[in-house]
Structure 1
């Protein structure tokens, strides 16, 4: 199959025709074996090109098969025939009840039956970094998404190619394979050279033949033909064929193939798995890069970036520990902050057999816990000190999570965290540096609101932490909704990868336009794009629904200025790439790490699947010319 694919190159087809004609004419004029040399040289050149290309692509296909085998080693718990059992995700059928827990990948499309605090990361399909809460009101689960928090049961309604991700795969497989820019150029050069060579060959043959006929006519031998005359005409034809053979550059495909094979080897040493030889060349020809945001430009790992406590805002720098608070706040305040972080959470800090700590839970919860550990807090110690009496898990309607605990020194304390504007309305006090509650004035409330707005303008996801003390246990362990004391405002974000800014500047300096295409909201996308250097003053940021509504004439005007496409669907990404290729003749590279990027990756001249998730996408999508 790989040999046959390699033989489809137009230059090689022209060379094969030349080789056949050369051998035929050579044997007729010079006999065996002298007549074989020219044609045999071309055949050997073709053979080397085809073998190098086919062997390189075959070796890469074996690497991808190994990746695919690893990807398939996934087992899940299902209830089937009234029995709970463990099966491979590839044995799943409609009607099975799948048991889901934190960290599981949803193996099929289905409907939520029952569960507790189930939230799902749909960024691989939608590009949205915000987790989606699954309940009776929003019961649909999609294959390829990941359970971020909680547990539940799902009734399978679609598997394989019938799922939403399966339909995406079918779309990927539609259409033929496009030629790479280098193939287009080489084929164009070969065609032009072939035509010029053919023209000169025909002209030479005609001139030699006419001269021969004129000489015979002048010597009055036009009617007198012999075998030597026929041999002369055959020699003239051989000369014409030689001109064509010499004109067509049979060494060019070999030189290009060997250089690309060397480039592929070099890319593999850099930990980049190249699917086809042509991908190395196409990457160097790119004039435009359309990149995903979440997981590609950013780390897809939420961290605390800024926080506000006791009237002061601070930015968290990497590696800073508890001393950033110890110098300005009392031990009592720090203890309250740790309690608010470690007690009021649905996530968990676990230690593996090597003693390495990791956090299981949603991205937001994990960021808070990681920050608490960075400040020097002890998750296990705080859980052992206090007894949890009641938990009100986070829900999308209330946009908050609350917990009621019994304190070791006596008394009770409620902790609450959630959407900043909601928690702030529940607070009438604010804690000072000594850990004592003080009345919150209207001016203080307004200042804190401005802090929250300022965090939001920097594309930070804001949370407020609050607490309330009781001398006695509330009736039925009920958790109140007012009278809280504000502890802190926390700004969380998905940070930009450290190498991205320099990479963007390198691309811009090389004349390559960089565009961000993401499913996230436009404010976050614009903030990240500005931080990376993608969105400039003359650049345009637009949302997917508005982009979809534009006419082809409008798109011609705005596409060159688009630097950020937010709230975009997989089809929006596909449309943008298609228009850049067809309307503006750009050589488009697309980078991404999720299934939602696969359509655009498949359509692009060069697809770059990034990171661990990208490896799975690359195996899953199987687009040509991809890394």
Structure 2
């Protein structure tokens, strides 16, 4: 269907919708069921059994399976069966871990999908984009992602960027007029909006004509090659670590096998032992555990109101050294409330706080009351916030500043908003560079005027007259100074100040923006307050303690920014605030020199934000930058961690970001940084645990070979150790809570290696001690004779396992093992108890004794085992490492 050829009414009728009512919920539900969700079919995921067989592609597992066939060929059927069972159990664990990680990431992706503002049952409501159906009336505004293919039915300066479909980088102006041309390419369909494109400027309304795979994007989806998922820097480092460990394992295995054969051990036994050791050296569960820990960490961040869009951001968060934060809504509550009006050269206080009830003080006569009404009515017209009346229950939706203006007008007189004495005919949307918004309105006599609201200092330069006592007068220099003093006074009280101006127009047609916004008549000022968030002050202190610098970047007046920054302890009274005007005269080199000493930037543009981020990065900082608008996207993209607002942020900003704040709260960024640090530290913890355990296993075998003693551990026992004592405790370490001083250390250097801060020494030293005490336990238990060998192996087997299970608590802290409550990680307690429960049947259940070549132990044996096992922790545990 060529929807662009039809008129608006024809499209609405054909789709069974209504321009002022939309669809009913029942009809929408029927269409959703019939046509399916409004989403593109995901890249086909591997089937569950393919994911399971993937677990057997690991090089060492393949070698182990080959050894199993050799064992079976030589008649060692019990060993062969046990090895197969252990490999299967390991593979099942890996399979379930990958499945859990995949489910977590799928849930994350679902949460990051955009919403749509649609007309249902006559009311505008917000719904998930996948619930949009054909015939839905959808509102589009600056920064939105178009969620389906639509026919435009009304537009105001609406321009949409469609480069993903057309390759054209410039936004395309949209209209609602039908186009008669028979064949048009996408770029020329100027009355259509297509799924996946972005609203660059203006706003409009469209009716959905296609959803999901029926959209233009859906029809060419088979031609879109989805980029493979990129590994995080941490995963790349761990992949490199795996290659190093494979080389080490091959060398050590060869040494053990050669030493054993030289000592007269059977070649087959040593071959199997060598392969078992090779598997022991390489923590094959490490990649799966890292993925699970990252995905579970992401889930914890969601509970803390932060959605991580890219796993690599988790690692980068831990290195963040500067957070550049917007003021409004992030450091403040985003509950803009008008508290003061200035008109007729007089201030009027507004009471009632955030809400629709309140009163105005100081209005002494009818002229002043009329001027207040005029100021509030005109400023309300120059807004796009929505007033929704649901059976007398009035709610407001939209930009917080505009909501505050309409709220103040409703407090004064509801008729100021509802009475349509003036009609909006044209709009010039707010622009970050102009810092103002303009509308053209007409009265019932078809007289036209423009209304402009925006930054007071800039609008005052465009003003030549003012209204005083109901009369228009020339703006004298004295009156201009009085207005500037009032602006200063409001700014000193941390008010956000908006100026409102107007101007009669001869005709709205063919007017350029310069004509609408010049030679204006000053009407008044609106002062509003947005109280700082109580939790923001504590979060900023946490940042200071963690060596993270907080920079406030805002478009507000310098004095307003300074007052808020002082109340939050971002700056002291003598510290400098740099404005956008200051930045304009600074070279890149000057900015690099200054930026490390500045904590507040005011009156900045999106271009300024980009320069600030780049200057900080040039000085070696890892920068997190917040933003919510279309123009913030470049700075979000360039920053190391782009943070977008979940409530007020545009879809463009969210697309460019790495982190989405569901509550638009600065404290949530700090919480995410803490979570990112903890995830990285937990990964280091289980690397420390796994590798120290593996070093201990290798050394106990090597010591025995060099001492010409029998093998202290049999291949099947080594495999059981890997299964029982590695996987579950390591995963539980990945869920550990942060240490109490986690946010009292400086940020981690970006290029820091996995083994930095002495981790490599801890792994080798503890692994050495585990190997030594296991070897000593074996030697002390060993006496000549077959029965003695089985007993000594059982002692060594149990000592190794218990030493590792005690060592896992040591890995929880970089200090002493006694520095943390051993019961502080319930998952670890469960994992250790489970490991012991799986271990006991191996030595007390007779069928398993035969398989694992073990014998039952006495209480005295256990006392000796526990004493030996605890020695490494007792030796190191009291030291602060």
Q: TM-score range, shorter-chain basis? A: 0.5 to 0.7
User: 1:355 — aligned with what?
Assistant: 392
Contact kept? 1:102, 1:151, Cα under 8 Å: no
Q: Secondary structure at the match of 1:287?
A: coil
Question: 1:297 — aligned with what?
Answer: 330
Structure 2 length normalisation: TM-score? 0.45
The match for 1:509 is 545
- Structure 1 gaps of 5+ residues are 79-87, 116-141, 153-158, 162-169, 213-230, 469-473
* 1:290 CA drift (Å): 5.2
Please tell me whether the aligned partners of residues 397 and 403 of structure 2 are also in contact (alpha carbons under 8 angstroms).
Answer: yes
| 1:383–1:501 Cα change, 3 Å | same
How is 1:196-595 mapped onto 2 (pairs within 5 angstroms)?
196-210=248-262, 232-250=266-284, 259-260=293-294, 262-267=296-301, 269=303, 282=315, 285-288=318-321, 293=326, 297=330, 304=338, 306-308=340-342, 310-312=345-347, 318-319=353-354, 325-326=360-361, 329-330=364-365, 333-342=368-377, 345-347=381-383, 350-358=387-395, 366-374=403-411, 376-379=412-415, 383=419, 418=453, 420-421=459-460, 425-427=464-466, 430-431=468-469, 443-452=478-487, 460-464=496-500, 488-491=524-527, 499-514=535-550, 530=565, 537=575, 550=588, 567-568=605-606, 572=610, 576=614, 584=620, 586=622, 593=628
Of 231, 236, 245 in structure 2, the residue corresponding to residue 178 of structure 1 is 231
* Whole-angstrom distance in 2 between the partners of 1:389 and 1:186: 64
Partner Cα separation in structure 2 for residue 624 and residue 346 of structure 1: 33
**CA–CA distance in 1 between the matches of 2:339 and 2:471?**
26
Task: Give me the whole-angstrom Cα distance separating, in 2, the residues matched to 1:258 and 1:192.
Answer: 23
State the 1:102 CA deviation.
6.7
Distance in 1 (CA, whole Å) between partners of 2:649 and 2:563 is 21
- Partner secondary structure for residue 77 of structure 2: coil
Residues in 2 aligned to 1:210 and 1:614: alpha-carbon distance in whole angstroms: 70
Contact 1:286 1:589 in 2 (8 A): no
Mapped to 2, the partners of 1:30 and 1:578 lie a distance apart of 68
Say which is worse superposed, 339-348 or 292-301, in terms of deviation: 292-301
3-state SS in 1 of match to 2:369 = helix
Which residue in the other structure is 1:131 paired with?
none
Residues of 2 paired with 1:13 and 1:35: CA distance?
Answer: 19
C-alpha distance in structure 1 between counterparts of 2:226 and 2:609, whole Å: 15
C-alpha separation between the residues in 1 aligned to 2:585 and 2:87? Answer: 52
Give, in whole Å, the separation in 2 of the partners of 1:318 and 1:614: 25
Question: 8 Å contact 2:625–2:642 — kept in the other structure?
Answer: yes
> What is the aligned partner in structure 1 of residue 102 from structure 2?
57
Q: Residue 341 of structure 1 contacts residue 372 of structure 1 at CA under 8 Å; is this kept in 2?
A: yes
Partner of 1:216: none
Give a deviation string over 1:37-57, Cα, whole Å, max 9, x none.
356535532432343223432
* CA distance in 1 between partners of 2:246 and 2:304 (Å): 39
Say whether the 8 Å CA contact 2:644–2:654 is kept in structure 1. Answer: no
Tell me the SS of whatever aligns to 2:269.
helix
Aligned residues: 531
CA distance in 2, matches of 1:52, 1:179: 18
The whole-number CA distance in structure 1 between the counterparts of 2:315 and 2:252 is 34
Secondary structure of 2:419's counterpart equals helix
- The equivalent of 1:145 in structure 2 is 199
RMSD: 6.6
Kept after mapping to 2: 8 A contact 1:430/1:439: no
Deviation of 1:191 after TM superposition, in Å, equals 5.1
Q: Is the 8 A contact 2:464 2:520 kept in 1?
A: no
Q: 1:280 to 1:334 in 2, by over 3 A?
A: same
Contact 1:18 1:245 in 2 (8 A): no
Return the alpha-carbon distance in structure 1 between the equivalents of residues 359 and 330 of structure 2: 29
Counterpart for residue 71 of structure 1: 129
CA distance in 1, matches of 2:553, 2:306: 23
Using the TM superposition, give the Cα deviation of residue 371 of structure 1 relative to its aligned residue in structure 2, in angstroms: 1.9
1:220 aligned partner: none
More displaced, 59-68 or 1-10? 1-10
Is the alpha carbon distance of 1:625 and 1:594 closer, same or farther for their aligned partners in structure 2, counting shifts above 3 Å? closer
Cα–Cα, structure 1 residues 185 and 585, in superposed 2: closer, same or farther, change >3 Å? farther
Give the whole-Å Cα distance in 2 for the aligned partners of 1:399 and 1:99.
23
Structure 2, unaligned stretches of length 5 or more? Answer: 1-44, 116-127, 138-145, 163-170, 178-195, 207-214, 218-223, 508-516, 663-881
The verdict on how the C-alpha distance between 1:148 and 1:616 changes in structure 2, with shifts beyond 3 A counting, is closer
Alignment correspondent of 2:747:
none
Q: 1:261 to 1:146 in 2, by over 3 A?
A: closer
Structure 1 CA distance for aligned equivalents of residues 336 and 661 of structure 2: 29
The answer as to whether partners of 2:642 and 2:656 remain within 8 angstroms in 1 is no
Whose relative contact order is higher, 1 or 2, with alpha carbons under 8 Å and at least 6 apart?
1
The secondary structure found in structure 2 opposite 1:425 is strand
Give the secondary-structure state (helix, strand or coil) at the position aligned to 2:76: coil
**1:10: Cα distance to partner?**
13
1:380-406: CA deviation from partner (whole Å, max 9, x where unpaired)? 58838xx66999977999987787979
What whole-Å deviation, never above 9, does each CA across 1:179-207 have from its counterpart, x for those lacking one? 253x3564465555555444433333343
Tell me the SS of whatever aligns to 1:357: strand
Task: Summarize the Cα distance change of 1:424–1:17 in structure 2 as closer, same or farther, 3 Å threshold.
Answer: same
Asked whether the equivalents of residues 500 and 522 of structure 2 are also in contact (C-alpha less than 8 Å), the reply is: yes
Per the alignment, do residues 45 and 261 of structure 1 end up closer, same or farther by CA in structure 2, a change over 3 Å counting? farther
What is the match of residue 137 of structure 1?
Answer: none
The DSSP-based 3-state class of the residue aligned with 1:326 is: coil
Deviation at 1:237, TM superposition (A): 3.3
Are the aligned partners of 1:307 and 1:490 in contact in 2 as well (CA < 8 Å)? yes
Contact 2:463–2:518 at 8 Å: present in 1 too? Answer: no
Do 1:343 and 1:383's aligned partners in 2 also have CA atoms closer than 8 Å? no
1:71 Cα deviation (Å)? 1.9
C-alpha deviations, 1:51-103, integer Å up to 9, x for none? 3223432464267459479425276899xxxxxxxxx97446xxxx8343479
Shift of the 9–77 alpha-carbon distance from structure 1 to 2, 3 Å rule, reads closer
CA shift at 1:612, angstroms?
4.5
